[in-house]
Structure 1
Amino acid sequence: MSKNLHVGIVGSGIQGVSNALFLQKKGFKVTIFDRDNPGSPAASYGNAGHFSPYASLSLNRTDVLADVPAMLLSSTGPLALKWNYVPKMLPWFFKFILNTTKNKMMHTARNMHQILDLALPAYDELFDEINLDGLVENKGILYIWNDKDLKSRDLEIKVRDELGVKQQLVTKSEIHDLEPNIKPFYHAGVYYPYARHARNPKKILLKLFELFLKKGGKFEKKNINDIQFDTEKPVFVTDGERHTFDKIVIACGAFSKKLTDNLGERIPLDTERGYHVHFKDCDHLLSRPVIFSNRGFGITPMEQGLRVVGTVEFGGLDNPLSKSRIKNLISNAKYMLGDLPEHEDEWLGFRPTLPDFLPVMGPSKNYKNVFYCFGHHHLGWTLGPISGKIVSGMIAKENTNLNLDPYSSVRFS
């Protein structure tokens, strides 16, 4: 493999930057394109900041369909729809329902577990080269629940046991010892002591991006309007300019679909809209991220304060922010922690999600010099470096002992 090959990447979030850094390790020249600067208020900035190597069970579960109507009707529930988007989502929902059988659920869980197991070591490879300045904390992540929907909790515990995920079931008094400021509405929980969290995801992303530039990487703040080909070489078409590369990687999250559609590949990528607010100067109230499973939201102590994150809203890329979802996060936070000051920083971001809840990683079906790396739903932040490592290995034509077929876009054709 000739090492002076030039790779172009669309997307400067955690996926794009991780791909770039692992490609540089293999000797490739790399240029990243994005219409915004790295660290702009997109998904890699606004996520929950969890490094969650245990999270192999996704939303395509055998128990989820029975719960959907109740979730949609509940104002405190984790799920919402923008009704004007429902007609567009119907084909996606139909495929999603087909992926909630026991076999499909386990197929997703096994193949998420395969990459999640490698997620933290891949981060550490990159972290070894930067000064983290206390931006990552190793205090574990705690899930708590009340005594409703216990069948769903049993299912999660059982599936993770079956996969060999290390988990520590905790009692009421153990939860209280870990997080004494949470109001005692909970019944039990599970603690993942080896999980980590980011004190500021944006700062971590920018440190990795600076490392990329220091190693000779280039950044172009340009929107990619189209991808064309000069013989077999892919060409990024920006406003009035053409940039030719040996290989390219599409890693722009929820915005990847427009480009893959243009390449003649119908990948059913849609977006789960996620929200956050901050409660400033309150991060001393929690020592680690806490997720309240019944309501599908979590709170992470960060530099910006307590970041309250969560809810899944299906509504596409163009609908405005829903005030009701912000209210939902605020009332949930107060339910968990009691009195809190006025909230700040209302944020909406887009999680790129496929109906089988597995990412797309690997070559395009139609063009051998185009590679994909998107669709990581709630785990984009956790899976950035391992995905970059996997895709860079494919581009370098290295052998691997991983089974990468489940992540191929060919599964949708």
Structure 2
Amino acid sequence: MNKLKVGIVGAGIQGISNALFLQKKGFEVTIFDRENPGSPAASYGNAGHFSPYASLSLNRTDILLDVPAMLMSSTGPLALKWNYVPKMIPWFMKFIMNTSKNKMMHTAKNMHQILDLALPAYDELFDEVDIEGLVENKGILYIWNDKDLKSRELEINVRKELGVQQQLVNKKEIHDLEPNIKPFYHAGVYYPYARHARNPKKILLKFFDLFRKKGGEFKRLDVKSIDFQDEQPILKTESEKYLFDRVVVACGAFSKKLTDNLDEKIPLDTERGYHVHFKNCDHLLQRPVIFSNRGFGITPMEQGLRVVGTVEFGGLKNPLSKSRIKNLINNAKYMLGDLPEHEDEWLGFRPTLPDFLPVMGPSKNHKNVFYCFGHHHLGWTLGPISGKIVSGMIAKENTNLNLAPYSSTRFN
């Protein structure tokens, strides 16, 4: 029997992880992307966290009370591009419907189910590449001041209920972990088993090289639409057509163009995330530190200290907001005092659904098209486990996981 041919749209951490796990199962895989792997998209510019504890998402019972204050605050984690608000209204309405206690716990449980498997899935891939110096096992630290206590209690209690390991830390313990942070904090939580990437792009490229070494093909082409010959999917680019047995749509925030084209109404939108680097300062922190009140974090990386954060709703077309960059710089100095001139202003797109669960599984209308997108802030953490799950679906393997909550049919 001929090997089944699978085409994947997207060469970020989701697409490449899908490809590697499909190759393990004996499929022949071609990846399409309009940019080269490692281009300045979300898999390049993320915070670099491997965060298996992050089961509680933005659809929390307390978020609606906080939103107006967040929007008014210049140091806050949330911003809107006002020209995009009309387009966002249907998404926000669905989001509000997902902030009840039941819906919050539904999301948390089903994120926990896959987050629990996230690091072992990475380790399966790490076994096959040399990641010397690229992954640090020093945990991740969250800190806050008293103003923010109620929100933190909700988080801690939900994680406790799910059985997430967490270590509450006091002022002295935070100082011992990170002596260079200014002492504005009152308490925090430390996740000792979390890890961080010293350079997400390099890790992604190691995975991509492995994919090529195993016979995978890459085509730098923009997939415009998906057509069908009988049930077989055809990927159409500007000038060519490619026929496959199965197709995986894994192009993050850009997936909606293709799901719309397949006549499936998936309410995917984008949270715009930013970063800057402070070069030669990575010695100031041992591990990623997130200041919860202001919704930003700093990760020590090869490129320097990477300051990441803020959620901006503004779609894929609006330009970078200088005020968001300024916000990151001010926040970094608030945490660490004097820093040199920043570099590398970056904007990327996190694909987000109103219930904060990803979409993984077959398309509603076409059994040979599979989806793997919508992982919001956890795309980097969840790449390999998502690839493993979707490749298992394509191979028709049995699983003891409950995969129904990730199906696209939940929106129909």
Q: What do you get for the CA RMSD once the two structures are aligned?
A: 0.5
Counterpart for residue 142 of structure 2: 143
Q: Matched residues, percent identical?
A: 85
| CA deviation vs aligned residue, 1:54-105 (integer Å, no higher than 9, x gap) | 0000000000000000000000000000000000000000000000000000
Counterpart for residue 241 of structure 1: 240
Counterpart for residue 189 of structure 2: 190
1:279 and 2:289 aligned: no
* Preserved CA contact (<8 Å) 1:277 1:307: yes
Greater shift in the superposed pair: 330-339 or 145-154:
145-154
Correspondences of 1:232-381 after superposition (within 5 Å): 232-381=231-380
Tell me, which stretches of 5 or more residues in structure 2 are unaligned?
none
CA shift, 1:405, in A, is 0.1
Q: In 2, Cα distance between the equivalents of 1:149 and 1:123?
A: 33
* Preserved CA contact (<8 Å) 1:15 1:251: yes
Q: In 2, Cα distance between the equivalents of 1:210 and 1:237?
A: 25
Q: In 2, Cα distance between the equivalents of 1:146 and 1:393?
A: 44
Counterpart for residue 75 of structure 1: 74
Q: In 2, Cα distance between the equivalents of 1:185 and 1:328?
A: 18
What amino acid maps onto 1:46 in structure 2?
Answer: G
CA shift, 1:149, in A, is 2.3
Counterpart for residue 167 of structure 1: 166
> SS of the residue aligned with 1:186?
coil
> SS of the residue aligned with 2:409?
helix
Counterpart for residue 112 of structure 1: 111
1:96 and 2:95 aligned: yes
1:382 and 2:381 aligned: yes
What amino acid maps onto 1:79 in structure 2?
Answer: L
CA shift, 1:133, in A, is 1.8
Q: In 2, Cα distance between the equivalents of 1:125 and 1:64?
A: 36
Q: In 2, Cα distance between the equivalents of 1:410 and 1:135?
A: 38
> SS of the residue aligned with 1:31?
strand
Q: In 2, Cα distance between the equivalents of 1:189 and 1:305?
A: 24
> SS of the residue aligned with 2:119?
helix
> SS of the residue aligned with 1:134?
coil
Consecutive aligned runs of 4 or more in structure 1 exceeding 2 Å deviation: none
CA shift, 1:3, in A, is 6.2
CA shift, 1:285, in A, is 0.1
What amino acid maps onto 1:254 in structure 2?
Answer: A
Q: In 2, Cα distance between the equivalents of 1:40 and 1:84?
A: 28
CA shift, 1:239, in A, is 1.3
Q: In 1, Cα distance between the equivalents of 2:382 and 2:90?
A: 27
Q: In 2, Cα distance between the equivalents of 1:215 and 1:364?
A: 28
CA shift, 1:240, in A, is 1.3
> SS of the residue aligned with 1:300?
strand
| TM-score under structure 1 length normalisation | 0.99
* Preserved CA contact (<8 Å) 1:289 1:301: yes
What amino acid maps onto 2:259 in structure 1?
Answer: T
Counterpart for residue 60 of structure 1: 59
Q: In 1, Cα distance between the equivalents of 2:201 and 2:130?
A: 14
| CA deviation vs aligned residue, 1:209-265 (integer Å, no higher than 9, x gap) | 000000000000000011000111000001110000000000000000000000000
Counterpart for residue 30 of structure 1: 29
| CA deviation vs aligned residue, 1:283-341 (integer Å, no higher than 9, x gap) | 00000000000000000000000000000000000000000000000000000000000
Tell me, which stretches of 5 or more residues in structure 1 are unaligned?
none
> SS of the residue aligned with 1:113?
helix
What amino acid maps onto 2:71 in structure 1?
Answer: L
Counterpart for residue 225 of structure 1: 224
Q: How many residues align?
A: 412
CA shift, 1:126, in A, is 0.2
Q: In 1, Cα distance between the equivalents of 2:153 and 2:235?
A: 48
What amino acid maps onto 1:245 in structure 2?
Answer: F
| CA deviation vs aligned residue, 1:155-177 (integer Å, no higher than 9, x gap) | 00000000000000000000000
> SS of the residue aligned with 1:148?
helix
1:85 and 2:78 aligned: no
